[in-house]
């Protein structure tokens, strides 16, 4: 009887098996078991709403993700006040990790007038506080595509300052060393200066833990050389922090065959690159999805002071439709789904064990010299909390709340060569709803249709109205 009772009691215990945690060591990602880790991920965010609170939908999606071969997701916007245990547990049970952006539209670092202040820091900290609880949080981003052209270079120190302060907060709180990084737009005129700037400073606390790239260079039947990936590899081979593709999956040629995955996980690139995140999991108006929840439902009718939200589907613009909030049984979109599944199934980079990895040979990459192209002095002090950017067309002077200078530089925008990969990529990426245009369409549309407490409707608060006005001002300056 005693044995039988004990057996029943054991069956009733919810035994959880935690995934090994992920850390950045030198230029690679490792599990806490000492094995090098490579990312096979998908971007997971259909709307502005937090996708990690609907447990039923998470479980449906996780089942499909596991079949696809996913081991990581990227989520762009979350609400740290919500309960994420259900979704994070479902992901963990399937062996799936999370990369989460710390910023939201109101706390985004704007390229036109970058600022790093207490309110942003506290917002970033709140997201970190929430997700550090979970062993399957693989990393956090302090920014996404903040810099999109040469004139945006002045924002680079502010992104790096955000990384510095989040790392310091992480360490002060005694959290594990969750990697802190940045997701960059693939802009030819900023390569490789931006990645090197984020990794070159002599003090490790002032370097990012990883760097990631949103790149749509590989389109259709390309190759390692014709796609431009060989150039990316040459530019990153000596980088001293991990690098991976935080978005990839060009859809200019259909169907998508995802031939770039074979290259990314091949010996040509896998010694430098730690994998990729495919844009994106759920189908929306931009046609990047791997699964579909079915046709969108019409938005709720309500006036927000700027426009009326009672539109038929056909009258909404592409990025407006893409922000519908809906969920359903995920159905694979073929043949793209099976094409990616097949590519991932046949790639298995060997990597190296952490014990065999000699970090003594990993030295900080050389900082980009200050010149007419890269206008930031790499040796200048990073902005302190409360810093904001004031500038004239020929100079950049960050000031703190007390008015002291913290960095200098000269902003001289240069034009992008016609037909360049960066120009083509920008056109390719312009339809992605999560491509951040400073105060452009993404932030503005979010504010125009800010959700009420019920999660439905389009009412705009007084704060939202003010933020829209600020966004419009930045956008049209």
Catalytically active residues are 145, 247
Q: Where are the beta strands (DSSP E) in 130-224?
A: 137-144, 180-185, 210-214
Going by their DSSP bridges, the two strands 39-43 and 273-278 should be labelled as: parallel
In DSSP notation, 448-474 reads HT---TTS-S----HHHHHHHHHHHHH
- Strand-pair category, 331-332 with 72-75: unpaired
Q: How many alpha carbons fall within 13 Å on the CB side of residue 290?
A: 27
Q: Answer whether 113's CB lies under 8 Å from 388's CB.
A: yes
Strands (DSSP E) along 328-380, which ranges? 331-332
Listed residue (79, 83, 51, 80) closest to 325, CA to CA = 51
Residues near 365 by beta carbon (within 8 Å), at least 6 away in sequence: 196, 199, 200, 238, 239, 240
Contacts of 315 by beta carbon, 8 Å cutoff, 6+ apart: none
């Amino acid at each position: 009887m005693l044995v039988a009772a004990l057996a029943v009691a054991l069956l009733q215990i919810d035994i959880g098996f935690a995934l090994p945690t992920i850390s950045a060591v030198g230029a690679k990602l490792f599990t806490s078991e000492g094995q090098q880790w490579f990312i096979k991920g998908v971007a997971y965010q259909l709307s502005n709403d937090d996708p990690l609170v609907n447990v039923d939908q998470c479980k449906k999606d996780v089942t499909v993700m596991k079949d696809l071969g996913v081991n990581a997701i990227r989520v762009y916007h979350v609400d740290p006040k919500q309960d994420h245990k259900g979704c994070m547990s479902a992901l963990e049970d399937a062996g799936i990790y999370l990369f989460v952006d710390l910023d939201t539209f109101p706390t985004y670092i704007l390229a036109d007038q970058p600022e790093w202040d207490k309110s942003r820091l506290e917002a970033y900290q709140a997201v970190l506080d929430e997700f550090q609880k979970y062993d399957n949080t693989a990393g956090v981003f302090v920014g996404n595509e903040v810099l999109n052209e040469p004139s945006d270079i002045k924002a680079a120190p502010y992104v790096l300052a955000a990384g510095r302060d989040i790392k310091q907060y992480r360490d002060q709180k005694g959290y594990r060393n969750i990697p802190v990084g940045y997701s960059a737009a693939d802009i030819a005129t900023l390569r490789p200066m931006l990645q090197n700037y984020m990794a070159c400073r002599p003090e490790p606390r002032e370097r990012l833990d990883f760097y990631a790239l949103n790149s749509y260079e590989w389109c259709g039947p390309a190759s390692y050389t014709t796609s431009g990936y060989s150039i990316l590899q040459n530019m990153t081979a000596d980088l001293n922090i991990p690098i991976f593709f935080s978005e990839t999956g060009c859809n200019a040629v259909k169907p998508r065959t995802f031939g770039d995955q074979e290259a990314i996980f091949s010996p040509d690139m896998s010694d430098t690159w730690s994998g990729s995140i495919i844009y994106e999991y759920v189908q929306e108006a931009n046609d990047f999805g791997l699964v579909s929840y079915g046709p969108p439902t019409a938005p709720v009718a309500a006036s927000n002071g700027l426009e009326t939200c009672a539109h038929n589907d056909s009258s909404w613009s592409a990025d407006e439709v893409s922000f519908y909030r809906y969920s359903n049984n995920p159905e694979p979109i073929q043949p793209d789904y099976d094409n990616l599944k097949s590519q991932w199934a046949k790639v298995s980079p060997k990597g190296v064990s952490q014990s065999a990895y000699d970090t003594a040979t990993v030295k900080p990459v050389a900082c980009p010299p200050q010149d007419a192209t890269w206008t930031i002095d790499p040796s200048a002090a990073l902005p302190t909390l409360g810093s904001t950017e004031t500038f004239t067309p020929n100079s950049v002077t960050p000031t703190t709340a007390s008015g002291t200078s913290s960095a200098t530089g000269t902003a001289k925008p240069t034009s992008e060569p016609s037909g360049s990969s960066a120009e083509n990529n920008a056109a390719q990426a312009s339809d992605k709803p999560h491509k951040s245009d400073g105060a452009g369409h993404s932030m503005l549309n979010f504010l125009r249709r800010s959700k009420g407490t019920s999660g439905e409707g389009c009412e705009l608060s007084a704060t939202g109205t003010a933020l829209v006005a600020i966004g419009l001002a930045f956008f049209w300056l």
